[in-house]
Amino acid sequence: MEKIIKEQITKYLEKTSCISNNQHGFISKKGCTSNLLESVDYITKALSKGNFVDIAFLDFAKGFDEVFHSRLLHKLKAYGINGNVGKWIESFLTSRKQRTILGNYSSDWTDVLSGVSQGSLLGPTLFIIYINDLTDNLKSVHKIYADDTILLQEIRPEFQDADCLVLQNDLNIISEWSKEWLMELNIAKCKFMHLGHGNINHEYVMNDGNTSLIIAATDIERDLGIFLSNDLK
């Protein structure tokens, strides 16, 4: 039954074009390769014009485990996934319980209120629906594979402050989204890369509760299994 529901939802999403074009995870005819190629193409074109590029690599703390079922069901209805399919998914999500067993001792059963299984048939599809509006209001270029998110901003030497501000504003938007939808960002693992000779290496910050933290800069970062360096070698 799960396979049938997944196929129905996938067809509906393709027909309605609900999912962002920048999402490359678990999407037909897209994947890690298309994600990386589009990113590198953007970078090389910007650098060939004599401009710089700043890239933010974002890390969500638990990803699939932090999808709250009640909020996911709200989003499914907003995207028009309701009726019998919606009721089946609600039952699929809300009928789960868990307990801890240690030796001869076990805890009481508790309801599982969050999480979609990455290893299940339906889990990845539900996840990309949940995270779909993450980038709705961003101005910078962005690429997503499931929850692996990067932001890319071309920095023009004559407009450096304005272009850097675009990227900082997008980081603020993502911070607010993560709070609203309870998808915690692991800011300690978020990184920035500055590309282009003469790049001013602007410092960017993200909000962690009540504190603004500077995101660490890096010369090399692993993205979807491929190492990207600031000299593109």
Model pLDDT for residues 107-163, shown as the tens digit of each residue: 877 777 798 987 889 999 999 999 999 999 999 999 999 999 999 999 999 999 999
Q: What is the mean pLDDT of residues 215-226?
A: 95
Task: Give the pLDDT confidence of 46-86 residue by residue, as tens digits.
Answer: 999 999 999 999 999 988 999 999 999 999 999 999 999 99
Which residue intervals of the chain are DSSP H helices?
Answer: 2-16, 32-48, 69-78, 83-94, 123-130, 160-180
83: left (phi over 0), alpha (psi -120 to 50) or beta: left
Q: Is pLDDT above 90 for 16?
A: yes
- Signed CA dihedral, 107, 112, 114, 116: sign only: positive
pLDDT for the residue numbered 109: 78
Q: What letter represents residue 58's amino acid?
A: L
Nearest to 152 by CA among 231, 41, 233: 41
Chain mean pLDDT for the chain: 93
